[in-house]
Structure 1
Amino acid sequence: MDKFVIRTPREAYNPKPKYNRKFYKQAKIESLQGVVVIEDLERAEVLLKRNDVSPGKKVKTLKTLLQKRPPKETLIKTNIGKTVHKLCKHENEAIASTANEVYKSWKEHILSKVNRPKLEVACDLKTQNFKLSARRMIRDAMKRETDSSGENSFGEERYKTKENGKRKRELDVDINIHKKSCKEKKNDSSEKIHKSSKINEDTLDALAEYIERELFQETKRLINNSYKRTVRKLVFSLKHQDELRNSVVNSTKSVDRLIKDFLQS
């Protein structure tokens, strides 16, 4: 059988090349730039302050700090900001240059936070409608009822008095003159009332919005039972208590004090 078998030289074993796969590791919360561990910062602050620590370890510590973006409050609390700032003038050039990089990156981060505009996140539609209705009820409760003064009952004398025709004619003339003067006064007063009503409505709208916002903030930005109950009590009290309404409208009572009183009651 061997003469029928064709033997060929064996080739060297060449395994198939593996695909270049990237193996990803799961990121941890501590690996994020904005997440810092207070204990790590305190440890780094001690290492950077001590004189018996080698320059290489200090540079390594500063490089780890360079990857973090701690907030301003944390820098003040741990005193790490002052320590890094002092190391910018260190005798060792490596330590000074790395400390300068850390200080500049932290400073840019803090300044970007300060100059960044605040984001206004809109609530859901149900919450927005509830807030708008609460503002409307508070505004209506703060409006003072204006008594519309009608015409004087001057014409009743015409039917009560029984005098001669001359006296009646004089009375008719006096009534007409009185009506004209009332109309003129009414027109002048209506213009003044219209202008003042616009100003009052604008101020009341702003005040009602301010009261509702502070109440919403005090109830942890939730439309809960405390928020609803406080709105009802506030509206009822503003409607029926003249002294309270006048003090709120005239700003003799602060909004913070008003909300705290109603939340505690």
Structure 2
Amino acid sequence: MDKFVTRKPGHSFSRGKPKPPEKKKTQATIEQLGGVVVVEDIMRHKARLQSENQSSTILLESLQELGKKIPCKKVLISSKIGHIVNKLRKHEDPEVNKAAKQVYTKWRTYYKDLKDRPQIEVKYDRTGEEMRTSGRKFLAKELGLEEGANLVEMIEREVVHACNRRLDKSYRRTMRTLVFTLKHKHDVKKDILSGKLSVEEFVKGNKKC
């Protein structure tokens, strides 16, 4: 009986070794460049590093992200992020203090050589800033804290981060959901105030982005 060769889907009849699949090329974004610093991100990491009883995991995550950038002197001075990183060099967790030393040394070495970068700062317009202020006000009210409390700032900045820094309908829906949750779910409110529930988990579980 004659033998027939059947072609199966995806089967190649080319001789030799099969060609490896081509790697997909991804285009780098401007934010991935070391010299580009988003002030909003610096302030988000500042709030996380300042939080009392913050987990070592979150501290390390923020320090690693900060280590990828070199903020200009104006941002370092105005945000005091360098001072906060310096304090973490004495943290009880050896991994945290090691990471803090690396970031602090990197920044200090850079500016010791009198190098600096011109600052390009992008701010939200008046409407955007008013929206954020209003959101923090409602969060503070439900948490029973002052509007300038670090926990309030952390939550609001985490929402901005989760929504890719867009102050659109997704941001507003997420903020409303968080406020509603704090108002009606007392166990959640208690856990977020005590630190049992992290800000990241709280926002992630309620985000509408």
Provide the TM-score with structure 1 as the length reference: 0.38
Larger Rg: 1
